[in-house]
Amino acid sequence: MINFNYETEFLIQNERRISDWILETIHEEGFKIEEVNYIFCDDDYLHKLNLEFLNHDTLTDIISFDYSVGKIIQGDIFISIERVEDNARDFNVSFDDEIHRVIIHGILHYCGYKDKSDIEATMMRDKENYYLTKLI
């Protein structure tokens, strides 16, 4: 089950289509879903979580808490709409493209993809691009 929660005035357009896309990604990666909660929020909200749980005094676009066990995905994904807006401008892409990239980025982490090294980051970006082409 995919749940969308809003701590800001932003709303996902066509939640059903986005939810189906996420589920297809999970299944294609060989996983099953228990529950994933997306929480869309602002910078202040996410910054507090970053300080409290990760001891990072920085702004970020996404924080995910992974409760998955084996091949069963479960977790909470917090996304700062303000960071996504800024990143879209910085990368010269549309807001929709950037929000979709961040949405699937969290799921790919749950599927075992990392992005700490340059090689991992390249693989993650390739997977993001692949799944973004499936959202039509």
* Binding residue ranges for Zn(2+): 105, 109, 115
Residue 84 near residue 100, CB atoms below 8 Å: no
Residue 72 near residue 89, CB atoms below 8 Å: no
Taking the C-alpha atoms of residue 15 and residue 124, their distance in angstroms, rounded to an integer, is 24
Helix locations, the chain, DSSP H: 15-28, 43-54, 81-91, 95-110, 118-133
Residue 25: phi and psi, rounded to 5, are -60, -45
66: left (phi over 0), alpha (psi -120 to 50) or beta: beta
